[in-house]
Amino acid sequence: LHRVLLAGAFSLGVVCAVTPWTLRNCEKLGACTVISANGGWNLLIGTFEEGRGAWTPIAGERVPEGCREVFDEVGKDRCFARAARRRIQSDFGAWLGLLPQKLRVTFDYAGAASAYLKEAGTFTESGFVLLRNSEQVAMRLMLVGLGLFWAALPTWIFRQRFGFFVLGKTRAALRAVWMAAFGLAAGCFPWCFAVVAPVYGLTLKGARQQPTVLWWIGVLGSLVAVHGVFFGAARYAMPALLLEIPLSSVGFYLFARQLAVARRRSFDSEG
């Protein structure tokens, strides 16, 4: 009940926040549109193979023939939405094939902030390159920590499925190896990790009992779902950092602790 009430209060807060702008749209756009009329635009952009999963302008030949004489903002957005659905239905496989590219440009690149600062004239070209590379390294390290965190949760699953985790002396060392492998995989393949982690986390009883973990699963899962359908960009993944950084820090702590346990047990075995 507590969680239901909390979710209801949060949803009510969101509705209150967007209501004034929606009322403004009802007056100015001639149709009641929540926040903005760009869902059709974004859906159509996400069908262009030349965009490679990222933003590309709807101009020239990309403008659907039936929408070229529609100038009303809401009407054009709805026309683009209809055109996008037709494109998806006509070649569903090609549209689905863009999914990895959409997620890759969303999760595999961390240079959005530095790119905006460069456009604002804050950095020189060399400064931009240095900041962008630093962002990329920091993001990869954070993802490694997230992988370590997730790998530390499901020991009970592997104890049920693989007998070698119950071999007393070697259990701690093997768990440390598993954590390291999962962490490195998360750092090397961020978009794959973004897809697997929410599903993986929901299968873990221990994870489902942690509100913070559930919040992160919801944030990451919604990012994957939304930008897998529309199109991707690194800036859309930035809000997830608020939860990713703390969980990553916990992951590195748990890995260090697991290494200490494995080392202590190794010394005990030699003794």
Calpha distance 78→72 (Å, rounded): 10
User: What pLDDT score does 202 carry?
Assistant: 77
**Residue 196 DSSP symbol:** H
Residue in the block written with tokens 């507590």: 2
Q: Is the dihedral of CA 148, 152, 154, 157 positive or negative?
A: positive
Provide φ and ψ at 204, rounded to 5°: -100, 120
User: What pLDDT score does 143 carry?
Assistant: 92
Nearest one of 46, 22, 23, 54 to 36, comparing CA atoms: 22
Instruction: Give how far Cα 143 sits from Cα of 26, 84, 132, 138, 224, Å.
Output: 43, 34, 17, 9, 16
Calpha distance 132→54 (Å, rounded): 19
Instruction: Give how far Cα 22 sits from Cα of 29, 30, 41, 76, Å.
Output: 10, 11, 18, 18
User: How many C-alpha atoms does 252 have within 13 Å on its Cβ side?
Assistant: 10
**Residue 169 DSSP symbol:** G
Residue in the block written with tokens 């702590």: 253
Question: Is residue 83 within 8 Å of residue 260, measured between CB atoms?
Answer: no
Provide φ and ψ at 94, rounded to 5°: -65, -40
User: What pLDDT score does 209 carry?
Assistant: 65
User: What pLDDT score does 34 carry?
Assistant: 82
pLDDT (tens place) for every residue of the chain, 271 residues total: 787 898 899 899 999 998 998 888 888 887 888 888 889 999 999 999 999 999 999 999 999 999 999 988 889 999 999 999 999 999 999 999 999 999 999 998 887 788 888 888 888 888 888 988 998 899 999 999 989 888 877 654 444 444 434 334 456 777 788 889 989 999 999 999 888 888 877 777 666 666 777 787 888 889 999 999 999 998 888 888 888 888 899 889 888 888 887 777 665 555 4
Calpha distance 171→178 (Å, rounded): 10
- Which tokens sit at 125? 């070209």
- Which tokens sit at 229? 């359908």
* Cα angle, residue 218 at apex, residues 39 and 16 outer, rounded to 5°: 60
User: What pLDDT score does 200 carry?
Assistant: 78
Q: How many CB atoms lie within 10 A of CB 164?
A: 10
Q: What is the value of pTM for the model shown? A: 0.80
